[in-house]
Chain A
């Protein structure tokens, strides 16, 4: 079965700690995305990558970092510089040329106290 996996589903961290969220896809998609979702809000773009070893900042990249060393993997690190890290984080990917349809992973709910 092809799809996107994110792990873990729930993550708890103390303030001041960096944390890395995993995102893996076996859909052979070139483009991958990280979004943040807060209650009652839409999805806000953190980072995206159109190709291996290249990525760009989205609308709310401050306090986050990513890497794209393999086509299948796009991990997101939430650093201690992120002022309000508690949120639902969604990873997505898409086929080249079909910008309108993104495939989402199940998400990671991060709670920082």
Chain B
């Protein structure tokens, strides 16, 4: 079956750096995506890794190691508005559907 594991909660202070890990088990893997969701809101796409390595988008970076079935999202210079849930999602199969992890709730403290 398909499964993704990520920590349920992470707490950090403003200005700090935080890393949210994601391990996955899936067949027909195409890539790993990250989404952000504020409480009561819609998920929004942050980044995508199809190949091994680091992708950087402003304060956010995402990393993938296909051989280790592992990825992470790195958030730098944390701001209060970064308090949200972060989901990793695997693209798999010919239909291109996404399987989501259960999410990591990030709390940024002053």
**Bound form: Cα–Cα A72–B109 in Å:** 41
B8 nearest in chain A by CB position? A40
A106 and B42 contacting across the interface, CB-CB below 8 Å: yes
Q: Could you say which interface size class chain A belongs to? A: 20 to 34
**A104 at interface by CB-CB < 8 Å:** yes
Instruction: Say if the beta carbon of B71 comes within 8 Å of chain A.
Output: no
Question: Per-position contact with A for B21-34: 1 when CB-CB < 8 Å, else 0?
Answer: 00000000011010
Q: Counting CB contacts under 8 A, is B83 at the interface?
A: no
Distance of A33 from chain B, by nearest CB (Å): 8
Q: Which of A13-21, A43-51, A62-70, A76-84 contacts B (4 or more CB under 8 A)?
A: A43-51
Most chain A CB inside 10 Å of its own CB: which residue of B40, B48, B89, B97: B97
Q: How far is the CA of A104 from the CA of B48 in the complex (A)?
A: 16
A43 touches B31 (CB 8 A): no
Task: Please tell me if B72 contacts chain A, counting CB pairs below 8 Å.
Answer: no
Binary B-proximity of A78-111 (CB < 8 A = 1, otherwise 0): 0000000000001000100001111111110000
A56 within 8 A of B: yes
A-contacting residues, B18-74, CB 8 Å? 30-31, 33, 40-45, 48, 50
C-alpha gap A89/B48 in the complex (Å): 24
- A43–B101 Cα gap in the complex (Å)? 8
What number of B residues sit within 8 Å (CB to CB) of A? 25
Q: Is the interface of A mostly helix, strand, loop or mixed?
A: strand
Q: Are B100 and A42 neighbours in the complex by a CB distance under 8 Å?
A: yes
Q: Indicate if the CB atoms of B48 and A40 lie closer than 8 Å.
A: no
Q: Is A41 an interface residue (CB 8 A)?
A: yes
Name the one of B30, B48, B91, B102 contacting A41, with C-beta atoms under 8 angstroms: B102
Which residues of A line the B interface, CB within 8 A? Answer: 31, 33, 35, 40-45, 48, 50, 56, 58, 90, 94, 99-107
In the assembled complex, 18 residue pairs joining A and B whose CB atoms fall closer than 8 Å, in A order, are A40-B8, A42-B87, A42-B100, A42-B103, A43-B43, A45-B98, A45-B99, A50-B95, A99-B30, A99-B98, A100-B31, A100-B45, A100-B98, A101-B45, A102-B43, A102-B45, A104-B42, A107-B40
Which B residues fall within an 8 A CB radius of A?
Answer: 4, 8, 30-31, 33, 40-45, 48, 50, 87, 89, 91, 95-103
